[in-house]
Amino acid sequence: MERSEIFDKIQEILVDALAVDDDEVTNEATLIGDLGAESIDILDISFKLEQEFGFKIEQGELFPEGITQDPDYVEDGKVTAKGLELLKERVPHFNFAELEADPSVENVAKIFTVEALVTFCEQKLQAA
Amino acid sequence: MRWMWIDRIVELVPKERMVAIKQISLAEEHLHDHFPSTPTRRAMPVMPMSLIVEGMAQTAGVLVGHAEGFKEKVVLAKVSKAKIDRDATPGCTLRYTATIEQFTAAGASTTGIVELIEPTAKGEPKAEVIGQIDLIFSHLDQNMGGVEYPEENFVFSESFKTLMETSGIEANF
């Protein structure tokens, strides 16, 4: 499936799940910041992606869970090198450039963009 | 029996579908406030839509809880869609049919049909689909934040056990 086709389907899912306008769903838009997604919306989006694309999403596969609350991976409000490695392993669809430049915990949500979601689906479809 | 907005479970297909009914009675106090008369209008007793959503949430919630033997604390997390096209008035029956769409360790999504059954003078009552309510449930102990809750399953209380037993469904959890 072409990346543009994946984007179109994801745009439709996000408009439905987050009650946003389709022109708000751009590649750069962050789900939690720009589109107002809450944790439960991530579950909703996972369900909708599974239905649309026919693959299974394991818990924590789409968005990292627990890492930013774990003192092993966060120190003084910043993700540690160990935490960053784990994030890269758990959620390889994220673009880590911004987080590497400033590893503040709040930046983890900022790198969860629509583009990361498209990459996630692309990788899942390729692996299937 | 507090805050129960379904009266009886009439069908349960485990992990798949549940049907429950709610009889609307003019004896219910809230109907007198929803809506009371005004100087220019008579009273309009109508089942509040928020309570219709609650009725569907209880129907779908029991279905989702039953799927794992009521071990999970199933909480309503999101109303994905709620559309009711007609008022539900006293003397009628609401029939909720909830179907599991997706079920994972983290929660479940359900779709639900609301029907209004009107009694008739003779013969079969008249049933009409009046809306759809789709919901997302979360298994509380599997929350993303890793927050811990008491071990006891406070969601499926005695009221739900009573409902199941009076509906002829075993409730030994």
Identify the CATH number of the domain in which residue A42 sits. 1.10.1200.10
Q: Does B147 touch chain A (CB under 8 A)?
A: no
- Taking CA atoms, A87 is separated from A40, A69, A79, A120, in Å, by 20, 13, 10, 14
Q: Is the CB of A40 less than 8 angstroms away from the CB of B145?
A: no
Q: Clarify whether residues A98 and A48 are in a common domain.
A: no
List Cβ neighbours of B64 (8 Å cut-off, separation of 6 or more). B72, B74, B100, B103, B107, B108, B110, B137
How many CB atoms are located within 10 Å of the residue B155 CB?
Answer: 16
> How far, in Å, CA of B154 to CA of A38, rounded?
24
Produce one character per residue of B23-38: b if its CB has 16 or more CB atoms within 10 Å, e if not. Answer: ebeeeeeebeebeeee
pLDDT at A21: 97
The structural domain count of chain A equals: 2
The answer to whether the complex's ipTM is over 0.85 is: no
Identify the closest residue of chain B to A39 by CA–CA distance: B144
pLDDT at A51: 93
Q: Which domain holds residue A105?
A: 64-111
Percent helix, strand, coil in chain B, to 5, is 20, 35, 45
Please determine, for residue B1, whether its predicted confidence score (pLDDT) is greater than 60: no
Domains detected in chain B: 8-29+43-155 (3.10.129.10)
Residue A5 inside a domain? The answer is yes
Q: Is the CB of A43 less than 8 angstroms away from the CB of B107?
A: yes
Q: Does A71 touch chain B (CB under 8 A)?
A: no
pLDDT at B2: 67
> Of A11, A86, A94, nearest to A52 (Cα)?
A11
Residue A30 inside a domain? The answer is yes
Q: Clarify whether residues A71 and A54 are in a common domain.
A: no
Q: Clarify whether residues A35 and A6 are in a common domain.
A: yes
Residue A127 inside a domain? The answer is no
Across the A:B interface, residue pairs with CB atoms under 8 Å apart total 41
Q: Mean of the per-residue pLDDT values for chain B?
A: 93
| pLDDT confidence band for B145 (50 / 70 / 90) | low
Residue A53 inside a domain? The answer is yes
Q: Clarify whether residues A52 and A12 are in a common domain.
A: yes
Q: Clarify whether residues A91 and A39 are in a common domain.
A: no
> Of A62, A54, A67, nearest to A116 (Cα)?
A62
Q: Which active-site residues of B does the annotation give?
A: 34
Q: Mutating which of A16, A31, A38, A40 best tests the B interface, going by the most B Cβ atoms within 10 A? A: A40
pLDDT at A65: 77
Q: Which of A17, A41, A69 sits opposite B145 (nearest CB)?
A: A69
Residue A94 inside a domain? The answer is yes
Residue pair A80/A70 in contact (Cβ under 8 Å)? The answer is no
Q: Clarify whether residues A104 and A117 are in a common domain.
A: no
Q: Clarify whether residues A50 and A74 are in a common domain.
A: no
B99: left (phi over 0), alpha (psi -120 to 50) or beta: beta
pLDDT at B116: 98
| pLDDT confidence band for B153 (50 / 70 / 90) | confident
CA torsion angle for A15, A18, A21, A23 (degrees, to 10)?
-80
| Residue A9: φ, ψ to 5° | -65, -40
Q: Identify the burial level of A2 via C-beta atoms within 10 angstroms of its C-beta, where 0-12 means exposed, 13-18 middle and 19 or more buried.
A: exposed
Q: Mutating which of B144, B147, B148 best tests the A interface, going by the most A Cβ atoms within 10 A? A: B144
Q: Clarify whether residues A11 and A54 are in a common domain.
A: yes
Q: Clarify whether residues A1 and A50 are in a common domain.
A: yes
pLDDT at B156: 86
Residues in a beta bridge with B128: B116
* Percent of chain B clearing pLDDT 90 (strictly above): 79
Residue A78 inside a domain? The answer is yes
What is the SS3 assignment for B61-119?
A: HHHHHHHCCCCCCEEEEEEEEEEECCCCCCCCEEEEEEEEEEECCCEEEEEEEEEEEEC
Residue A128 inside a domain? The answer is no
Which one is predicted more confidently, B137 or A1?
B137
Q: Clarify whether residues A41 and A82 are in a common domain.
A: no
| pLDDT confidence band for B3 (50 / 70 / 90) | confident
Q: Clarify whether residues A55 and A117 are in a common domain.
A: yes
Residues in a beta bridge with B112: B98
Tell me which residues of chain B, numbers 116 to 145, contact chain A at a CB-CB cutoff of 8 Å: 136, 138, 142-145
Tens digits of residue pLDDT in B68-115: 999 999 999 999 999 999 999 999 999 999 999 999 998 999 999 999
Tens digits of residue pLDDT in A51-82: 999 999 988 888 887 788 788 888 888 999 99
> How far, in Å, CA of A54 to CA of A47, rounded?
10
Q: Clarify whether residues A45 and A73 are in a common domain.
A: no
Which one is predicted more confidently, A84 or B148?
A84
How many CB atoms are located within 10 Å of the residue A80 CB?
Answer: 16
Sequential pLDDT tens for chain A (128 residues): 899 999 999 999 999 999 999 999 999 999 998 999 998 899 999 999 999 999 999 888 888 877 887 888 888 889 999 999 988 888 888 888 888 899 998 888 888 999 999 999 999 999 87
Residue A42 inside a domain? The answer is yes
pLDDT at A120: 94
Q: Does B27 touch chain A (CB under 8 A)?
A: no
Q: What is the mean pLDDT of residues B33-54?
A: 96
